[in-house]
Homo-oligomer: A and B are copies of this chain.
């Protein structure tokens, strides 16, 4: 996908609310900045912060480099029904925990002139936010979500926009050079290319799937791993009690659906198994110990 396809596809999705397309198109046209990435209809985890008590929101316009969300009028309302919530969990959800409230553009009791003025002010806010970033890196669709980019960064941060298209690419951020990788996890090499038996690179689906019930807590600090099959669940847990877990540390890249379709592996952080929590809940519990981890290229082979 090139930037032309990306930008027009994102804008074509703005059809939900009456004045949404007008507002979103106009903001993008007026910002007029090909180096500023935007996403429409972005699922957001707002943690406990959300005023209306809802932890999850769907914002109309999101600028990942700035962490800014824009809402046309009120937030989309999610029905409380579990089915919809489950469907949402399969999607790529951005964390806004502890972040600013979304910028709102009211279109309901305003004239076109007032909407236009509000948009101008929102555009100024966004431009100022970009200017205030000391190390703003212009968006380059060809370089984002690329192994080379993440290796060059030296470290990835779950609070930034870190995702890859395949699990092989994820492995290649940690000293591998895989063409393909099919399993749900991969062995980890340390920076020096030595096997790190204590760590696994994990590609979980953090929602119910294929008999597994994995769950990421709303504050994203805790992953629970379980099975719908009570027997399996019990076995899993008893194995843990008996032998412990060999690799107690996991670098987590969650399997998500990207908002334009297609699978992505989004970095969630580094998690370690908690014996105490696991015993308490009867399921494997992983707690986040870091939101960052180092990246490195494959070591040249010894000759």
Question: Residue-by-residue, is A23-35 near B (CB-CB < 8 Å gives 1, otherwise 0)?
Answer: 0011001101010
Question: Residue-by-residue, is A1-12 near B (CB-CB < 8 Å gives 1, otherwise 0)?
Answer: 011100110011
Q: Are A4 and B111 in contact (CB under 8 A)?
A: yes
Minimum C-beta distance from A122 to chain B (A): 13
Q: Are B34 and A25 in contact (CB under 8 A)?
A: no
Q: Which of B12, B19, B30, B113 interacts with A34 by CB under 8 Å?
A: B113
**Residue A133, interface by CB 8 Å:** no
Of all chain B residues, which has the CB nearest A120? B32
Q: Are A25 and B29 in contact (CB under 8 A)?
A: yes
Q: Are A112 and B7 in contact (CB under 8 A)?
A: yes
Minimum C-beta distance from A39 to chain B (A): 16
CA distance in complex: A221, B2 (Å) = 50
Name the B residues within 8 Å of A22 (CB-CB).
Answer: 7-8, 11, 25
Name the B residues within 8 Å of A116 (CB-CB).
Answer: 32, 34
**Residue A18, interface by CB 8 Å:** yes
Name the B residues within 8 Å of A115 (CB-CB).
Answer: 4
**Residue A21, interface by CB 8 Å:** yes
Contacts A4-B112, A4-B115; is A25 near B21 (CB within 8 Å)? yes
Question: Residue-by-residue, is A89-123 near B (CB-CB < 8 Å gives 1, otherwise 0)?
Answer: 00000000000000000000001110110000000
